């Protein structure tokens, strides 16, 4: 996990050298060779603690260094994608400069050929191999951190200790007290194992996963998005959830007794990243790249990801207090043995069907 990406060509390094000085926080202001600065750039983001952390670690420092404002568009990633695609297809200027996206969704856009190549970002030369999108040529997207869809729970609801299996969510006393993402993301793969299936049968035979999710449906689960999980835990409305550790950690930071674990069936590991749509004015594309380059600095990753409790892709980022050795903060090969990693291409080709099946079960 600590291997760095191979050395980049001198041409690539020089292409961003001026921006590298700015993004490194060297106090350098715009050079004559730098293109005109827009008044602002628009970054699509997730709400709640997600955008708060991005603002603190990347957006505010970017504005301080460049004078360029950053507007955060909180439209959901699945909603904004068709709008961006349509703009690029029709030769219009896209509605955002940068999409902060799941790697799976970003891969869909990269395979469509509408993302800008980011190979010339100076800070990529120090990045771990996890920054590289698997199965894609070059850097049509850049992964910025990893995360785990843990089983988060209230210890009071589990007096015998952390749940050892996802099957414990089927306990009748938890009816109406468990929660999942509204498309089931994070739950499909552990459900395959909990349902008696094999991970190697994904995607050809997902019947065990759907049978287990049908059992979960009888628990009348709450379904939502990232900010909902934090709210539900804080209001005492749920006892357990499959969610990204960040959401449980946020509730804990707010004084709620919440813990999280990786059950014996495993948990899904995934990454998020940034990409820039084609079709922006040249100067705006340039400054969007500088924003992403800043996000790949140790300084920005330390602040941004400390707020989210997630492992970054730049060596030297220290885990937040209490997360060293935590199963939700994988950094070693041993950590990854307990996590489920499905190739991005498989997810891209099947995720829409998986989401639809999950929703069909839950709405049935």
Q: What is the pLDDT of residues 289-346, one digit of tens each?
A: 999 999 999 999 999 999 888 999 999 999 988 888 888 888 777 888 889 988 878 8
Among residues 143, 329, 130, 156, the alpha carbon closest in space to that of 244 is found at 329
Euclidean distance between CA atoms 302 and 120, whole angstroms: 22
List CB contacts of 88: < 8 A, sequence separation 6 or more.
94, 114, 277, 278, 279
Domain assignment present for 279? yes
CATH number for 262: 3.40.190.10
Burial classification of residue 299, based on how many CB atoms lie within 10 Å of its CB (0-12 exposed, 13-18 middle, 19 or more buried): middle
Q: What total of structural domains would you count in the chain?
A: 2
pLDDT at 17: 36
The CB density around residue 33, as the number of other CB atoms within 10 Å, is 7
Whether residue 187 sits in one domain with residue 298: no
Domain assignment present for 259? yes
Whether residue 233 sits in one domain with residue 207: yes
Q: How does residue 135 score in pLDDT terms, banded at 50, 70 and 90?
A: confident
Mean pLDDT of 131-148: 92
C-alpha distances in angstroms, 188 versus 253, 298, 314, 346? 28, 33, 29, 13
Least confident of 8-12, 26-30, 117-121, 242-246: 8-12
DSSP result, 219-232 = T--EEE-HHHHHHH
Whether residue 342 sits in one domain with residue 234: yes
Whether residue 164 sits in one domain with residue 186: yes
Least confident of 68-77, 120-129, 243-252: 243-252
The CB density around residue 155, as the number of other CB atoms within 10 Å, is 12
pLDDT tens, 238-286? Answer: 999 999 988 988 899 899 999 999 999 999 999 999 999 999 999 999 9
Among residues 242, 229, 259, the alpha carbon closest in space to that of 188 is found at 242
Whether residue 259 sits in one domain with residue 219: yes
Mean pLDDT of 140-144: 97
Q: How does residue 237 score in pLDDT terms, banded at 50, 70 and 90?
A: very high
Whether residue 178 sits in one domain with residue 82: no
Least confident of 10-19, 67-76, 160-169: 10-19
Euclidean distance between CA atoms 148 and 247, whole angstroms: 11
Q: Note the pTM of the prediction, 2 decimals.
A: 0.77
pLDDT at 341: 87
pLDDT at 130: 86
Euclidean distance between CA atoms 132 and 143, whole angstroms: 6
Q: With residue 44 as reference, give the H or E element that holds it.
A: strand 40-44
Domain assignment present for 337? yes
pLDDT tens, 98-122? Answer: 999 999 999 999 999 999 999 999 9
Whether residue 204 sits in one domain with residue 289: no
Mean pLDDT of 80-88: 97
Domain assignment present for 140? yes
Domain assignment present for 190? yes
Which is more confidently placed, 326 or 24? 326
Whether residue 275 sits in one domain with residue 263: no
Domain of residue 358, residue span: 147-269+327-363
The answer to whether 266 touches 339, Cβ cutoff 8 Å, is yes
Answer whether residue 28 shows pLDDT above 80.
no
Helices (H) and strands (E) in the chain, counts: 14, 10
Whether residue 354 sits in one domain with residue 250: yes
DSSP code, position 277: B
- 48 torsion bin: left (phi>0), alpha (psi -120 to 50), beta (else): left
Domain assignment present for 3? no
Mean pLDDT of 54-77: 97
Q: How many degrees, rounded to 5, is the angle at CA 300 between CA 85 and CA 10?
A: 75
Domain assignment present for 317? no
Euclidean distance between CA atoms 130 and 269, whole angstroms: 12
- 112 torsion bin: left (phi>0), alpha (psi -120 to 50), beta (else): alpha
Structure tokens at 23: 């993004």
The answer to whether 213 touches 273, Cβ cutoff 8 Å, is no
Whether residue 232 sits in one domain with residue 128: no
Euclidean distance between CA atoms 222 and 208, whole angstroms: 22
SS3 71: strand
Domain assignment present for 255? yes
Whether residue 87 sits in one domain with residue 71: yes
pLDDT at 32: 55
Euclidean distance between CA atoms 98 and 58, whole angstroms: 13
Q: With residue 124 as reference, give the H or E element that holds it.
A: none
pLDDT tens, 150-205? Answer: 999 999 999 999 999 999 999 999 999 999 999 999 999 999 999 999 999 999 99
Whether residue 81 sits in one domain with residue 23: yes
């Amino acid at each position: 996990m600590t291997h760095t990406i191979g050395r980049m060509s001198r041409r690539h390094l020089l292409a961003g050298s001026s921006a590298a000085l700015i993004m490194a926080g060297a106090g350098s202001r715009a050079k004559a060779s730098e293109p005109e600065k827009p008044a602002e750039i628009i970054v699509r983001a997730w709400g709640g603690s997600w955008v708060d952390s991005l603002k603190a670690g990347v957006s505010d420092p970017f504005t301080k260094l460049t004078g360029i404002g950053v507007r955060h568009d909180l439209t959901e990633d699945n909603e904004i994608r068709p709008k961006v695609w349509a703009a690029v297809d029709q030769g219009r200027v896209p509605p955002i400069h940068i999409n902060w996206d799941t790697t799976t969704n970003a891969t869909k856009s990269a395979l469509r050929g509408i993302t800008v190549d980011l190979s010339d970002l100076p800070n990529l030369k120090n990045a771990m191999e996890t920054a590289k999108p698997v199965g894609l040529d070059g850097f049509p997207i850049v992964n910025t951190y990893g995360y785990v869809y843990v089983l988060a729970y209230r210890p009071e609801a589990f007096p015998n200790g952390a749940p050892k299996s996802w099957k414990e969510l089927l306990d009748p006393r938890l009816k109406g007290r468990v929660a999942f993402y509204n498309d089931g993301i994070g739950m499909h793969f552990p459900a395959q194992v909990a349902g008696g299936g094999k991970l190697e049968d994904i995607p050809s035979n997902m019947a065990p996963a759907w049978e287990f999710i049908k059992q979960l449906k009888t628990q009348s689960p709450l379904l939502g998005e990232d900010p909902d999980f934090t709210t539900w835990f804080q209001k005492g409305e749920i006892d357990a959830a499959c969610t990204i550790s960040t959401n449980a950690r946020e509730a804990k930071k707010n004084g709620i007794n919440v813990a999280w674990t990786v059950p014996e069936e495993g948990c899904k590991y995934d990454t998020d990243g940034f990409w820039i749509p084609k079709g922006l004015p040249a100067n705006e594309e340039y400054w969007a790249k500088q924003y992403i380059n800043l996000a790949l600095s140790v300084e920005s990753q330390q602040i941004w990801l400390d707020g989210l409790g997630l492992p970054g892709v730049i060596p030297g980022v220290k885990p937040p207090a209490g997360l060293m050795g935590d199963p939700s903060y994988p950094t070693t090969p041993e950590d990854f043995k307990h996590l489920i990693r499905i190739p991005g291409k498989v997810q891209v080709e099947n995720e829409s069907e998986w989401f639809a099946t999950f929703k069909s079960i839950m709405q049935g």
